[in-house]
A and B are shown apart, each in its own frame.
Chain A
Amino acid sequence: MIKAIKHDFISTGRIMGVIYAIMAGISAFIILTKNVKEGQLSLIGVLILFVISLCLLVLTAVVVMLDFQKTLYGDQGYLTFTLPVKSWKILASKVIVSGAWFVIALAAILGSMWVAFSSAKEFFTQDDYAMFGDLLEMFVGNTRSVIGMVVTRVVIFFVEFCFFALVIFFTNTLSNTRYFQKHSIFFTILFFIPIFFAVYKISELANEYLVFSLFFVDGKMQFVTDNAVFNQLSAQYSPINISEVFVYLIMAVVLFMVTHYLMSKKVNIR
């Protein structure tokens, strides 16, 4: 599977590389504009950065979907499905690579925002930075807690993005079964919207009724399922709600199994 992951990264990396180069160019232009140099980030600059960020996430989703369609159900599927690799490994490598690209996109967005805002020196005063530091210390605690929180957040984002990619893969695979195959891209988009919102609603409901939270108390991770403990700790520390992640994880497993079934039993490569 490592080889499949490696080649998936090479394949998608070619397009993603171009997208990142363009995005980096535009971001650099905004950051280096006169206003920022003078210490202010213009409203237009902020708006453009926001649009770029949105574009990066949308383009990542588009690249992930088109790569999946092309390498599995297009002509390249003749190569992919005749490789001596189990079909679940092919699917798993696509999910992992897509999840990683989304995390990289998010990191790039946060990175460019940070560079932009910190370049506009007068945007935040020294007092603001001091206040951020105090808040971080108050809600998170020591450095170990901060690192633990960041790592946990990255893992959570990765799981959520893998799930998001699986929704795309499931709808694309369903669209490549016999009845929808002629207009597979159209049906992928058509199926994606209701499925995504249904899943979003389920996770929202689960969030309301389940208490699964993580706290970092003095650098140590604490898993909380009890309401009373949650209320007590959340008065002092910032919680990471993971009930949503559990729901995503369960649904991801179900989607993976259904997609794999459709992929290996119901889809005929054209």
Chain B
Amino acid sequence: MSDTILQVRNLKKSYGSHTVLKGLSYDIEQNKIIGLLGPNGCGKTSMIKSIVGLINDYEGEILIDGQKPGAYTKEQVAYLPERNYLASWMTPKSAIKYMADFYKNFNKDRAYELLKAFGLPENQKIKTMSKGMQEKVQLLLVMSRDAKIYILDEPLGGVDPVARDFIMEAIMKNRFAGSTILLSTHLIYDIEKILDGVLMIKDGNLVVNTKVENIVSQGKTVEDLFKEVFSYNPAMEVPYNND
């Protein structure tokens, strides 16, 4: 059986005349942590939305665990979006019940453990919670699933620097054994040490697809490479790809 959990082939997506994804192709293996990096508007979210089934009118092919996006792949992918997707009347307790009803791989005990670890009240309504608390509720719902892929879009966005390490630790500790994490963030420094590989997207093109060890072997950090790629340099084209 192949180790590849996510295959993307020639992925293109346009909004009218504006093309946001210009033919991305890459494979992601099982049991890896991949950083998805790029400036705002580069196409990261469109790519993620295509993988999780929120965008369907794309060109190209996406295979998750060998299947096209659909009910099966949605069971295998645990997705944390940037925004709050829970109904305002919900409480953490009712949200846990909701997820447990729909996802066979949802672990209720782990959800309550995380709820306690995050210091969140069971019965407080989502609408009365701060943005940071809402993000923690969503994160615990995602990490309580025994998924094959976790796709986390800016999981550290609304949390203070002190809490970031705690959040990263919770992600690492609670991920399902052998699963892959695709992590989209601007806070490269905070995640650099846990990454196995990076994908960098610029203007809808995949400009970097490499292992972190290759970057390090050249005496650089992921952040150095990010600055190099996204600083204005018209001469530079695809510095690292599929090695």
Contact = CB atoms under 8 A, between A and B. Distances in A.
Dominant SS among interface residues on chain B: loop
Interface residues of A, number: 23
Contacts of A86: 70-71
A1 to B, nearest CB: 11
B74 interface: yes
B85 A75 contact: yes
Interface in B79-132: 79, 81, 83-87, 89, 98, 101-104
Interface in B37-65: 49, 52-57
Contact of A83 (B56, B74, B83): B74
A234 interface: no
A69 B56 CA distance: 18
Given A11-B87, A75-B85, A81 B102 contact: no
B72 A84 contact: yes
8 contacts: A14-B89, A71-B87, A75-B83, A78-B81, A84-B102, A84-B103, A85-B102, A268-B57
Contact of B74 (A76, A78, A82, A268): A82
Given A3-B102, A268-B57, 6 more contacts: A14-B89, A75-B83, A81-B54, A83-B102, A86-B70, A266-B57
A141 interface: no
A223 B77 CA distance: 51
Nearest to A80: B85
Interface in A40-94: 71, 75-79, 81-86
B189 interface: no
Contacts of B49: 268-269
A76 B101 contact: no
B234 interface: no
A197 B160 CA distance: 55
A78 B77 contact: no
B154 interface: no
B154 to A, nearest CB: 13
Nearest to B72: A84
Interface string A3-39: 1001100010010000000000000000000000000
A181 B49 CA distance: 18
Interface residues of B, number: 28
Contacts of A7: 98, 101
B232 interface: no
A84 B87 contact: no
Given A11-B87, A78-B83, A84 B54 contact: no
A49 B89 CA distance: 31
Contact of B54 (A71, A82, A265): A82
Contact of A79 (B70, B77, B86): B86
A264 interface: yes
A7 B83 CA distance: 21
B56 A264 contact: yes
A178 interface: yes
Contacts of B83: 75, 78
Nearest to B104: A84
Nearest to B86: A79
Interface string A135-176: 000000000000000000000000000000000000000000
A15 to B, nearest CB: 9
Contacts of B98: 7
The list of the 5 closest CB pairs from A to B, nearest first, reads A78-B85, A84-B75, A79-B85, A84-B74, A78-B81
B161 interface: no
A258 B75 CA distance: 26
A79 B49 CA distance: 12
A82 B15 contact: no
Contacts of A3: 101-102
Contacts of A84: 71-72, 74-75, 102-104
A266 B15 CA distance: 11
A265 B57 CA distance: 6
B219 interface: no
A85 B98 CA distance: 13
Interface in A250-267: 264-266
